[in-house]
Every structure is written in C-alpha cells, then in structure tokens.
Amino acid sequence: MKVSNRSSLRRITALSLSQISERLRRGITVPATGINISLNVTRRPRDAVISETVVTAVADGNKKKTLDDVALKILNGHIHAVLDRCPAMKRFHHPLLETDWEKASAFLDFLNDTLLAFEKNAGGVHIRRQLAKLREKIAEADIVCFIDRQIAISDLDDGVVERALILVDDKQYGAKAASELQDFDNNYEASPPFLAASRITLDFRGDVRGNSLVWFLSQNPHIISGKRVLHIAPEEIVSRYILEHQKDLGCTYQTLDGFSSTVDYIQDITDLQFPAGTFDLIICHRVLEHVLDDLSAMASMFRVLSPGGVLDVSVPQSMNLAATNEWIAQDLTHHDHVRQYGRDFADRLHSAGFEVSVERGLLERDIESHRSDGTYPMRHYICRKPMNGVDTAKAGASAP
C-alpha cells in the first residue's frame, strides 16, 4: 500500500536504509525518492518463472544489501539529475555527500529548498514546501485551514486545479478555479465530467486506483493472458488479483521497486537490468512523476518490452495544462512529485517510441457503477511497442 504521513517526511531521513522496510510497514513514506514507494505483501508462486536468461530475482539473504545499494543509487542519480538541470548548483556538491543515505537525503532536501534561487519553475513548489513545514509545526485549526487555502492558491497558480477545489466557492479565486475546472473536464474526456461531477460524488478514501485497475484487467483479460508481466511499484490489490487468476490467465508475473524488499526485483526504473524484449506487459502507475529523468525511464521500459508489448501507465495529469510543468524540486504537498504532467504526456511517451492510445473504459463508466465497485474515471494509457521495435510514425510509415 502507498501511504503518506507528512510528519514523518523528515524524521525518516535519519534512519539507515536497513530500517526503512520495517518503518514502511508502520505507514511512512520515505522522502527524496526517485520512484514511488510501495509494498506488495503477496508472493509469486514457485512456477512463476520468466526465463533463465533474465536477471535472477534477488535472493532473500541478499535483499538488504541490494535494497541499500539500489536506493542510494537512485537517490544519488536524482541529485545528479538536479545538478545537471541547474549547473549553477554544482558548487554546493561534495563527493562525500553521496556516501550514505543520511548525507544524500539531507543534501537533496537542501537542493529542493534552494532551487528557487536558480530555477523559476520551482517557485510554487518552494512556497508549498515551506507552507507544509509550517503546518507540521502549528496544529491550531484556524491556522491549518489558512495554510491549506494558501497551498490551494499556489496549486491553482501552477494550474493544478484538481488540488485546489476548495477555492471553487472562494470569493477571490472562485472564478479562476471554476474556469480551470471546466477546462480540465473538457480535456479529460470523462463522461460524466470528472471534477464537476464524479470527484464530488465518489469516495476516494479507499484504494480507488487499485480497484480501477482490477476492473480494467477483469474486463480486458487479453491484455494479460499468456503474457510475461512486470509490475512496477505494485498496488497490493492488483497483485492479489493477478496471482489469484494467474493459472487461468496463463501469465508469468514479476514485481519491481527500488525501495521495497518485498518485490521480486529491486532496481532503478531508469536503468532496468533485463535483456531487451523480456516482458510483454509492464504495469506502471503513479511512478513517473517521482522520476526526474522520466524520459530515461520510458526508454528503459520500451527496451525491455517485446515487439508488440504494452506499457499500461498513468500519472497525475492536469488536462487544463497544455504542457507539463517541470518543477524539479520535490513537492511535499504532492507526495514528492517533481512535475505536474499536462496534455503532452502522450507526446512524451510517443517520443520514447510507443504507439499511444487513451484507454476509455473507465472514463465512460457511469457514476453508479464506479460507486458500487469503488472505481473512478481513471485516465490511463495503453502504449504499444511497434512490432518492428521502431516507432512507425517517426519512421514516416503509414499505419496499415
């Protein structure tokens, strides 16, 4: 399960990596991560083997060291990606800051709070980070309410209206929020409209994403039937569903994360250690918004898919934004996201070589069906690797 606990965001940086997995079980999100943290409490059956040519899953006895090494590698990779984007900040870097988790995490926190001086797009994140820290220190209800409104105003200024819905009836910002909301719904293409209708009437307290993915898979068994499946940052309910139906589906199923010892593979999504064409289906939801070098992650997933293979992916996406807003800094109020994707998300996937289409099943369900199944109008993308391994649109070939 993916969890969030703002009061723990900084305390956990004092932990050793060997303690992180145990703390995760008690409900803490680790900050300064390259990808989202998740726990998968299910285990794959013994016969769920992909291929002898695939990199062997980490044996239980080696998982602690592998987790430590991979997590630190991801954290340092994130730091270097920040420094590459903002070369002026390289003067603050010292090699010793990369030697362990505590130093690297503290340095990344420093970079996140200092980016405003070098990167104008970090302005909104900087405000929200400081407001979140202030909210942690002051629990007085009226002040918390005031701070929440200020965070919503900052989100609205950054075009993230779905996180600023409390402003729709605001005397000062209501008109702007209503206009952005309408623009979002027009481009989100859900029926009924997502923000104006379904988000208000649906219950988002449970694992609505997991429920939605299970519904999608149950309605489209061909997506997974007979396939070699890799699930990145696996949702527990989705893993359980696949494993329970694995025999009937005739699929192999493997899980991967960079910050969990309960998965089959502990790896960096930007540098997947599998031979090309290893998998037929990759499931990857709400991960790329944590990865500063998301284009490398897309390219890495493209490489390990077989020709004709599919990436099923989604991200937080503000459909009223024409272009993705690259914050670079991690936003504490957005679960450490480093960007907000806009309508150009499909273009980014296409640039990695994928043939991209929007999966419309969940978008077109009626409200009562969503409510009864605990699902929501989830906008996700089916991204297919061309049979020849080359993007036909880029190659100038016409579709058959």
pLDDT confidence of residue 150: 98
- Residue 289's CB is within 10 A of a number of other CB atoms, namely 24
Residue 157's CB is within 10 A of a number of other CB atoms, namely: 14
Going by the DSSP 8-state scheme, the letter that residue 233 receives in this structure is: S
Domains and CATH numbers, the chain: 1-400 (3.40.50.150)
Give the pLDDT of residue 40: 34
Whole-number pLDDT of residue 59: 62
Taking the C-alpha atoms of residue 291 and residue 341, their distance in angstroms, rounded to an integer, is 12
Alpha-carbon distance of 294 to 38, in angstroms, equals: 18
Q: Could you give the CA distance from residue 130 to residue 242 in angstroms, rounded to a whole number? A: 41
Q: State the pLDDT at residue 388.
A: 85
Detail the DSSP E strand segments found in the chain.
228-232, 252-257, 265-266, 279-285, 305-314, 325-331, 337-340, 355-359, 380-384
Helix/strand/coil (H/E/C) assignment for every residue in 155-169? HHHCCCHHHCHHHCC
- Token duo for residue 364: 């077109």
* pLDDT in the model for residue 27: 36
Q: What is the H or E stretch that residue 180 is in?
A: helix 174-188
pLDDT value of residue 14: 38
**Separation CA 109–CA 82 (nearest Å):** 12
pLDDT of the chain, 400 residues: tens digit per residue: 333 333 333 333 334 444 444 333 333 333 333 333 333 333 333 333 444 444 556 666 678 889 999 999 999 999 999 999 999 999 999 999 999 999 999 999 999 999 999 999 999 999 999 999 999 999 899 999 999 999 999 999 999 999 999 999 999 999 999 999 999 999 999 999 999 999 999 999 899 999 999 999 999 999 999 999 999 999 999 999 999 999 999 999 999 999 999 999 999 999 999 999 999 999 999 999 999 999 999 999 999 999 999 999 999 999 999 999 999 999 999 999 999 999 999 999 999 999 999 999 999 999 999 999 999 999 999 999 999 865 444 433 333 2
pLDDT of residue 57: 67
CB-based contacts of 119, cutoff 8 Å, min separation 6: 85, 86, 328, 329
